[in-house]
Chains A and B, each alone.
Chain A
Amino acid sequence: MLDLIWFILLFGSVVLSLWRGEPEAITLALLQEAESAVKLTLGLVGNMAFWLGMLSIAEAAGIVTMLARIMKPVFSFLFPTLPTQDPVAGAILMNLSANMLGLGNAATPLGLKAMQRLQELNPDPSEATAAMCTFLALNTCCITFIPTAVLAARAAAGSSKPAATVSITFLSSAVASIVAVVVDRWCYHLWGRR
């Protein structure tokens, strides 16, 4: 499916821009986007190293295990296919906590670390497991307590009450997360438990 979408997006764009007589714009867009993807990743390397280092310390100190023990009921409800004693539980919970606190820079490295462990537990490495789908669903709409970047942009635009949207943002993201969990569970029952 991804294969077809990707083909349509790229091929369609190329054809459309040639037909409209704007080949320079798309040439520039392709090269710039490719470059920005690499810049984005390289910018992330330092962040990744730092947060994975902190995660190791938290693991060694038993903080991650403690978090996993406290959150065990929630975790086994959300991820019925995963062992609760596994280090993956800690990594997932650390990622979700970082997301909720608005620590986007910490959330990605912790999330990728969790994905690595989820992949080790995956019997078919080319296909997503049910636990991966749940994990990503939670990540795409994670409950947001503080939308830091939006707050800053509102303040910069001269708002007299930049934080006015915080509570509504929290509620909307909570609704999105609940819907994500429900739809994810429904798909899981519909398309097999792997």
Chain B
Amino acid sequence: MASYLITLSNSAVPLFVGLILLVAKFRGVKVHEVFVQGAAEGFDIAIKMIPYLVAMLTAIGAARTSGLLELVLSPLQGPLTILGFPSELLPIALMRPLSGSASFALMVDALQTYGPDSLLGLMASTLQGATDTTFYILAVYFGSVGVKRFRYAPFVGLIADLAGITSAVLLARLVWG
């Protein structure tokens, strides 16, 4: 099952590329010429997001190193534990919307500490996979076009994260608990 899924996800890129090329050739598109025209835009878009990414990553990195993030997030621990959220996984859940690499590292740590097939290990894997790094996406997507006022987008993203994390924990308890 796992090896089948990994093969499938590994084949997704070549299948995607092959299909596009086949249809394009069939319709008489000048594939090389069109590809180069499109690819030329890549650099500009990437360069435009650098300042936004630097601003966000330095602030989150500083808050993590100094212990400020822990301080700000600690009031959430009490209520969440009372609601049945396993306290061992709180750091992963709280880090997930802020930093994908940090929460991934915490997940790997949990897999090693509790075992990948334990309830906590399964929950940690589900948490990590089910939601995305909301703040990274906001900074990069809005940053690349220069939008400064995000309106309600961060709010919606965080509510969705909360929903994803809650259902991951509840479903994991239901299936493996």
Interface residues of A (CB under 8 A from B): 1-2, 6, 9-10, 12-14, 16-17, 20, 22, 25-26, 28-30, 32-34, 36-38, 40-42, 44-63, 98, 101-103, 106, 108-109, 111-113, 115-116, 118-119, 122, 125-128, 132-133, 135-137, 139-142, 144, 146-155, 157-166, 168-169, 171-173, 175-177, 179-180, 183-184, 187, 191
Contacts and interface: CB of A to CB of B under 8 A. Distances in A.
Interface residues of B, number: 99
21 contacts: A38-B53, A41-B53, A57-B31, A60-B24, A60-B27, A61-B27, A113-B45, A115-B145, A127-B151, A136-B141, A140-B97, A140-B138, A146-B12, A154-B125, A158-B116, A159-B121, A168-B126, A176-B131, A176-B164, A179-B164, A184-B152
Q: Do most interface residues of chain A lie in helix, strand or loop, or is the interface mixed?
A: helix
B12 A103 contact: yes
A140 B159 CA distance: 11
A39 B12 CA distance: 26
A33 B57 contact: yes
Contact of B68 (A16, A25, A59, A63): A16
B125 A150 contact: yes
Contacts of A25: 65-66
Contacts of B137: 136, 139-140
A26 B62 contact: yes
A47 B49 CA distance: 15
Interface of B: 1-2, 5-6, 8-9, 12-13, 16-17, 20-21, 23-24, 26-27, 29, 31, 34-43, 45-47, 49-50, 53-68, 71, 97, 104, 107-108, 111-112, 115-117, 121-122, 125-126, 128-134, 137-138, 140-142, 144-153, 155-157, 159-161, 163-165, 167-168, 171-172, 175
B106 to A, nearest CB: 11
